[in-house]
Structure 1
């Protein structure tokens, strides 16, 4: 296919997007009855929150059925197994639908595992049979457009941000590509690769470990049972004797054997590998330092998986590289067969040579990347942050140096110069200093957020008045006992009045926290005014807003199930007594994503004793620095909670200590449990001292005052001890700087037992990485096409 040069960007990406109708004609036997459900994202099997629209099945059209019977052509299953093919093998979802209370037709259709995946055909006698499955060469442009750069620039993504994303996420993307290529080595020569198109509002998950299926996986042809690469590889290599795999059974109780499963990919055609080529070329063009597996391991490049044959114009334009373009003078072919990634002199004279260069050029030598701040400033700031200065004098000099460099950003340093505290949450330049500390894996504090909030919305009496009759579960912070089926008013009435608190069996007021309230993803629906008040005033909006340019979660298309990133409320009484210092409001744990936690209300309880002295002793024993203590004595600020946060790199040392202590106490350490992920430990003063003396691990002791926002890096172990009654609200986000931790933690969580809340991969970090990188390279494509178009006009 040849396109005229005047089409500009349409000459490349526009070509792929505008062939939709023609590709539909080319694959008419597969696209009859085509229709995509439109619904709010949710895991399989859950009732939709809005109506899902699904077109009428082709089998309802008498004329089309007659033609299909005459021709014997195959067509896509465009409905649930029950509605379309009740006499054929049913998928797992359709087999279970009879046991569900919710039996909406549209829901069962889009939840069906064979929907728009399995092909059907009529025999000569008019009986419906299975006609195989889609394969990668049968993708259409509509499906491909989800996985390639858009012909228009991604919303909120400028050139500098795109460079920064590629600099931080490019290596993880290359790791993804290498993993997928290695997965292809497990496909037997006689096996044909199937293609399962993404279904709107459905998150495909491994049936063995509940990890989100990114691309290559293995599927049962009879029931749609699917397992990820890791589970397949583990099962195929055979476990040690005595180890039991809990794979679900197939129809009639038959076991699923690896050799009987069908290799399947989700990303159409070679889009993944083509984007990989673009990443290398773009990083080379932009001079971005790369340390990806392709380079560091010096691996011989693996061939792109064959899809049977190249996709031509009639077959959906599924290969990004294999497209030819024509200008008035000469032709440029962007095929991947160019040797050594070079172009001939004739090619380079073309007005579109940049496209071929982008698609095929290997990454150049590593160069120093360009940041948003001047290079000399980056260097100085990084030195101040990274270097462990031995004396207080040198620390103070570092702080002064930072202040001189950025006098317009009001800030101070806590934790003896190791913790950045930004003091103006509205300052638009906050992100510059924040980024330098954040990329070192350090937490950051932002004070004064409460001054921007509508304080009346966040008072306990407001929650009691509006939601008092709701039934909730409470947790006794002292013994972790669950108190079920109580009115939420009972919790809020005792928030600041000890005499009104629920009593224990011994008749003592309990220290309680609300368990999962508001439940699940209901915060926005249940409290829309508070949601807007919070989201409009979160500091560092570049990171924390849902559409923030440095929040990679915003790059995930709406087509996918959006990860639940909050907000989530944390409401609990304060732990006041001497014995309470050994327990936490929230025990030591870590999260797969970054988070910001805002203290929106601090309630000092009335009744019995004045607890100020006890609070100060807790702060003193909590290893808090002198500057923080001055916030209490001199500034008269309200302290709410004591945090201890540790660097993500120190997580394994913390595990070693806790396992050692467990053994000393005669406790077991089961292999499918983890001392951090179990959230069963609180590091008191004794344990923190041992951690420092035996492992040289020092964390950040942070007192969160009213209005303070604590930024916690992904993978950083942390714990919280409420000093007074606190209302905190947290929002998660995915920053470019910490994607590597998200990536690693997703693998860690696979090995946890099914009882862990973190066992399921809800973040979909691989999908987030893919689409962030796709959008970033798309920015360069668009910019170069605009440059070319401007040149052609002049």
Structure 2
């Protein structure tokens, strides 16, 4: 995402724990205040005390949102009330106790990765023995299908009077609302069949009992609650049996249970009718007036990008036995395999509750479904595909009771109603008929607005020295208009903007931070290594700025401080505010509802020493790619060791050169990682850049950024940074209409990588973001029309 994305906290990689390898071992510095997956937004009342191993098997319901919050493994983010926090005291890991080298670079940490470390290997797979010290301390029987509630809940359960209707983790008000909306009887009944020999447990359709002789009960508690813990024929979801910290029960408010007159379970079913849509709190105020022209431009772009997905979902809704799940507002749902955010066309295992995106479910079908009239060769090929997939991802088919699930165990899931989809699709198709195909209003800017005009003060500068580099377009802040910006940005070219510094009101200097925050503690990380970090005071870190004598290590501090004052000051100073600001009228992300778990796009602060190594330099930020557009402002740069003006050296590569760049990196550095760019292992030094140009004809935009200058980095452009002096930078991510297609391509790339090694979650949620933006724009359009009439 932002240009400093490599500094973000990492999620524990299960493959690293089971089979340690040199690749993808990244260092995390300062944990982000947002955590990947199901994540709570409350601050703890005390300092963290738990280690990472303890964190892996505790059932936390809350996470930190303090200045230096610990990384908490999460699968989906949960918003919890203060009352719930008071009733369930917990402890948090102190950053110094955490093994940061185990966390993958990412904006938020996912508990699906971390908690998978405690998953028992399926019986059908013959894998190497796990390193028990690297995993949870809990014994295997305690991990799998545990009968007792998590330890953090036991005392609370014991305090509840017998027979109470209160259930931990699901407020009574919410239970009533769900029960009231469940006034119909589902059409399909499932029964859990006991394991016979080598055959797995499975929940398959069964004959519907006489409804006059059964009671239908909506599951309003977690699978492992005292209400259900003694039920032998009721499958428990993976979130409950594995005690995934922060994850919510997959079957709660979704599954109904049939009991006979004796109270015994006869079977269960799932929601087959759409539930009433939950209210979303869309923004009503932007940085400037949201005009009809803004709305129409955004809607045209979204319709073109989202319409194919919605058509697929319309066909998905019509499938048999489809399960209707309410659209999550308090959590971010992700595919349990590839970590892509789930928006449409998903599938859920009826046994364990794992949810798979359409692509992952297609792979489940490919390795578990026998072809009709299969020959011995067909069956042998199927087994070979399954074994080959298991070697790369041994937990891909993991289900309950140490067994595997297959395609027959999954049911289609939708978060839409058919009528809702038909209405949106009809509107989008009508909008496309009114405008030419692929008409991007931003790319149609007249050529007269080109910055290359002699009348413009924009200049082309080449700072590449003897190493060939592209010329970077350079503008003063007051001369860069939307008419100039749009066609350049649509082509995916970076831009350098000067004279931004005077717009900053806060004194972004080391002296200011020493005076205001000098006694605060912070975690800093060494740039050249992957595993060296220490805790110091803010004053100690900034007091060293500009003093190079005797310095042996290069330290950096990221994501500090996240206070509102700094964010507001930065937002007032950014160039192209309609695009960049969190409330910018042309920022697709500005329409995200406030009562949902949206992406953390910044602004974020990056402070780092000069990187003066001459040999094996790893830079301040290694080569990587961001999932969204970004702008980075250098707010302060100390003089260089020779007394010259301080700066940061950037190399930004064109998106169309990415494949050639990957080819060069694999050969040059003998990389065995899945992707030499996304793995963030390399800083391409000067000699290597020269080789890259001579061998592949690929060169970068070389930029020397000084204080008060802003660098715009389009989504999909690989880039790296090396501080040539001690620097303070601030970056923010945004999603522009021009680059939606590039963001989609990057989402697919990360999804493909996660198929083989789960390491980076889809925190951008691009499709959900576009959908919310569409709904918001439609609402604002109606308001504007009503005000005019």
TM-score interval, normalised by the smaller of the two chains: 0.5 to 0.7
Report the 3-state secondary structure (helix = DSSP H, G, I; strand = E; otherwise coil) of the residue aligned with 2:647. Answer: strand
Partner of 1:482: 532
> How far 1:168 moved relative to its partner?
3.2
Partner of 1:602: 637
| Structure 1 stretch displaced more, 212-221 or 172-181 | 172-181
Distance in 2 (alpha carbons) for counterparts of 1:92 and 1:499: 55
Find the partner of 1:267 among 416, 422, 438: 416
Q: Tell me: CA distance 1:210–1:52, structure 2 relative to 1, closer, same or farther (3 Å).
A: farther
Q: How does 1:695-710 map to 2 (within 5 A)?
A: 695-710=696-711
1:282 aligns with 2:317: no
Q: How does 1:582-731 map to 2 (within 5 A)?
A: 582-604=617-639, 610=642, 612=644, 638-662=645-669, 667-670=670-673, 673-731=674-732
Distance in 1 (alpha carbons) for counterparts of 2:423 and 2:586: 24
> How far 1:591 moved relative to its partner?
0.4
Q: Mind listing any 5+ residue stretches in structure 1 that lack a counterpart?
A: 1-36, 101-106, 292-367, 386-397, 404-409, 502-508, 613-637
Partner of 1:537: 573
Q: Is contact 1:134–1:195 with CA below 8 Å preserved after alignment? A: yes
Find the partner of 1:133 among 242, 251, 270: 270
Partner of 2:545: 495
Find the partner of 1:379 among 441, 444, 447: 447
Q: Tell me: CA distance 1:645–1:252, structure 2 relative to 1, closer, same or farther (3 Å).
A: same
| Structure 1 stretch displaced more, 69-78 or 247-256 | 69-78
| Aligned-residue CA RMSD (Å) | 4.0
Q: Tell me: CA distance 1:254–1:270, structure 2 relative to 1, closer, same or farther (3 Å).
A: farther
Structure with the bigger percentage of helix? 1
Distance in 1 (alpha carbons) for counterparts of 2:703 and 2:349: 51
Distance in 2 (alpha carbons) for counterparts of 1:154 and 1:643: 30
Distance in 2 (alpha carbons) for counterparts of 1:689 and 1:93: 51
Partner of 1:400: 454
> How far 1:472 moved relative to its partner?
1.4
Q: Is contact 2:627–2:743 with CA below 8 Å preserved after alignment? A: yes
Q: Tell me: CA distance 1:60–1:178, structure 2 relative to 1, closer, same or farther (3 Å).
A: closer
Find the partner of 2:555 among 498, 502, 512: 512
Partner of 1:119: 256
Partner of 1:95: 241
> How far 1:80 moved relative to its partner?
2.9
Find the partner of 2:293 among 147, 153, 160: 160
Partner of 1:229: 358
With the length of structure 2 as denominator, give the TM-score of the two structures: 0.65
With the length of structure 1 as denominator, give the TM-score of the two structures: 0.65
Report the 3-state secondary structure (helix = DSSP H, G, I; strand = E; otherwise coil) of the residue aligned with 1:278. Answer: helix
Q: Is contact 2:526–2:553 with CA below 8 Å preserved after alignment? A: no
Partner of 1:174: 307
Structure number with bigger Rg: 1
Partner of 1:444: 495
Partner of 1:435: 486
Partner of 1:421: 474
Distance in 2 (alpha carbons) for counterparts of 1:59 and 1:597: 46
Partner of 2:165: none
> How far 1:764 moved relative to its partner?
0.5
1:560 aligns with 2:596: yes
Q: Is contact 2:337–2:754 with CA below 8 Å preserved after alignment? A: no
> How far 1:212 moved relative to its partner?
0.9
Q: Is contact 1:474–1:484 with CA below 8 Å preserved after alignment? A: yes
Report the 3-state secondary structure (helix = DSSP H, G, I; strand = E; otherwise coil) of the residue aligned with 1:771. Answer: helix
Distance in 2 (alpha carbons) for counterparts of 1:732 and 1:683: 24
Distance in 1 (alpha carbons) for counterparts of 2:311 and 2:697: 36
Q: Is contact 2:274–2:326 with CA below 8 Å preserved after alignment? A: no
Once the two structures are superposed, what CA deviation does each residue of 1:531-586 show, in whole Å capped at 9, x if it has no partner?
22222322221112111111111222223211111222221111336447x54221
Partner of 1:20: none
Q: Is contact 1:470–1:487 with CA below 8 Å preserved after alignment? A: yes
Distance in 2 (alpha carbons) for counterparts of 1:517 and 1:482: 18
Report the 3-state secondary structure (helix = DSSP H, G, I; strand = E; otherwise coil) of the residue aligned with 1:570. Answer: strand
